[in-house]
Amino acid sequence: MRRSSRRNVSLAAVLAAVVSVGAAAPASSAHPAHSPAPPPKSPVAVGYGGAVSSVDADATAAGIEVLREGGNAVDAAVATAAALGVTEPYSAGLGGGGYFVYYDARSHTVRTIDGRETAPRSADSSLFLENGKPLDFADAVTSGLSVGTPGTPATWDTALHTWGRKSLRQVLKPAERIARDGFVVDETFRSQTAGNEERFRDFPATRKLFLPGGKLPEVGSVLRNPDLARTYEEVGRKGVDELYRGELAEDVVRTVRNPPVDPASDRVVRPGDLTAKDLRSYRALRREPTKVDYRGLDVYGMAPSSSGGTTVGEALNILESTDLSRASEAQYLHRYIEASRIAFADRGRWVGDPAFEDVPTKQLLGQRFADARECLIRDDAVLTSPLAPGDPRHPGACRSTGKAAPTTYEGENTTHLTTADRWGNVVAYTLTIEQTGGSGITVPGRGFLLNNELTDFSFAPADPAVHDPNLPGPGKRPRSSISPTIVLRHGEPVLALGSPGGATIITTVLQTLTGKLDRGLPLVDAIAAPRASQRNAAATELEPALWNSPLRAKLESLGHVFKLNPEIGAATGVQRLPDGRWLAAAEKERRGGGSAMVVRPSGRP
């Protein structure tokens, strides 16, 4: 579907203002009204000149606009991310962090940026303990304590400086415009707001922004964020140092240290100890990607501090010895579930911030280790969780070593985008503020929410006798599950993808990859396929379509235990077709469906 993003973005705002129920001021009259609909969404698009896929049509259109104006995949990724900061403010934005994976067409190499949030320099392993006991998770989420130094602005800056063609100011323009003119509230936005309503009410700056007139925004109304438009304009003009050393940095520090809670509220909001020095010393880090060979393809991912690359990589190595293309659906799911279980057991024991932990990244990705783990899988029985980890440095024959510990809890919300350009560059970028709505705390007058990423640390070891590589520490990055992935064949891109969903990100990426590469599904169908997620727990989560299918009974007869999860992940991806066209793909249904677009549409998928 071809469309002018500029027209549609503003169009949507204008027209929705017409049907608005008064939550928003009318949009600028400079934009003519043509149609009463918000931007159309399609989960798949094919063509030339580049591609963008995200959960949101306005954001995808922002990326396409930048590609049309001569930007490359990196510029488009930052433009899309910034727009998501407006339209998906509960998942993404200046107040969060993320991981950026980039394929450079000229050098045929994959590079990455670790833009994870960091703990304050004063943090130690007791960060989330009170009187020796772990804090209640919900109390920790809505607090200054959980806010890490944002990594997203530094990620954008590093990516643009290193590989982009446009300035930050240029790529922030579409997002600035959407923030100023407004975007149309959809069902997902309203229900995410409703899920947060109680805590949002307790913070006047958050309430003003997301509960206009004190009410939940109506579907079809226009939500504007003039504060964020100003912030983007300022950051574009002054550079991201504004957020690390400028007045904006001061505002962030003040907000974290003294969360601006309504004096009338009886909510206890613990302050954080983030300082100006913490912000000043933040660095987005360039890291070597993870890489595994899977059936002749090179699969690149994100190295620790994310556990995404090592865990997806290990599971692929485990699965490689089975011909999944010939397996029945039940056999395929059985193998996929067991490989995930094993890889999560190893992730829990070995992966944390490599600046603090001696993470055996290379050995976790070794085929020898995977083979020593794969042999645990039986066709007629199910492994018991929690499964003990293996030792990747001493991959003995067919065994687990050490003590089993359950996987610690992680929140689930973020957003993933994928871009490609006319030169053949590709970006897979997952960014987050952690929970839906992050800490719930908006920086007053700045228009964005602060993350609660530090709750991705283990509050305490799941078992005190088992070393936990993910306890808080000074300046430490909490372990992530974010798994932006790029697949190459002989140095040329084949596909790229990623997903939100906390620890389920890993299983979503793994299942989508095998769905596409082994089961022969078109990318958009591999993304849409009903999901299962096993993370070294007694029960494997199933989405309704699998829960209600006869496959469940077949798998239960092997010993599998299941529980229902209404929705897992929200993936997006791009694929390079053999004829040189790009195919962009997104969700058909989840989160109300995603938005895939290409610069010059051509033919059918």
Give the residues lining the site for ligand GLU (CB under 6 A). Answer: 410-414, 432, 434, 453, 456, 480-482, 500-502, 505
CA angle, 510 as apex, 423 and 512 as ends, to 5°? 65
- Spatial CB neighbours of 319, under 8 Å, sequence gap ≥ 6: 335, 336, 339, 514, 518
Cβ proximity to ligand GLU, 141 vs 243, nearer residue: 141
- Spatial CB neighbours of 405, under 8 Å, sequence gap ≥ 6: 348, 349, 386, 461, 462, 463, 466, 468
How far is the C-alpha of 486 from the C-alpha of 431, rounded, in Å? 16
Q: Which residue has the tokens 């503003």?
A: 10
Cβ proximity to ligand GLU, 454 vs 494, nearer residue: 454
| DSSP-assigned letters across all residues of 510-553 | HHHHHHHHTT---HHHHHHS--EE-SSSSSEEE-HHHHTSHHHH
Contact yes or no for 598/44 (Cβ under 8 A): no
Count Cβ atoms within 10 A of the Cβ of residue 110 and give its class: 0-12 exposed, 13-18 middle, 19 or more buried.
buried
Cβ proximity to ligand GLU, 202 vs 412, nearer residue: 412
Smallest distance, Å, CB 210 to ligand GLU? 19
Cβ proximity to ligand GLU, 116 vs 224, nearer residue: 116
**Beta-bridge partner residues of 596:** 53
Cβ proximity to ligand GLU, 168 vs 441, nearer residue: 441
SS (H, E, C) 21-44: CCCCCCCCCCCCCCCCCCCCCCCE
Cβ proximity to ligand GLU, 5 vs 432, nearer residue: 432
Active site residue 512: no
Smallest distance, Å, CB 591 to ligand GLU? 12
Q: Which helix (H) or strand (E) holds 177?
A: helix 168-181
Smallest distance, Å, CB 99 to ligand GLU? 8
Smallest distance, Å, CB 444 to ligand GLU? 25
Closest residue by beta carbon to ligand GLU: 414
Smallest distance, Å, CB 4 to ligand GLU? 32
How far is the C-alpha of 589 from the C-alpha of 189, rounded, in Å? 15
Q: Which residue has the tokens 């798994």?
A: 483
Give the C-alpha distances (Å, rounded to integers) separating 234 from 227, 230, 243: 11, 6, 10
Smallest distance, Å, CB 135 to ligand GLU? 17
Cβ proximity to ligand GLU, 11 vs 570, nearer residue: 570
Smallest distance, Å, CB 311 to ligand GLU? 11
Q: Which residue has the tokens 């005190």?
A: 464
Catalytic entry in 414, 504, 507, 512: 414
**Beta-bridge partner residues of 575:** 495, 583
Q: Would you name the residues annotated as active-site residues?
A: 414
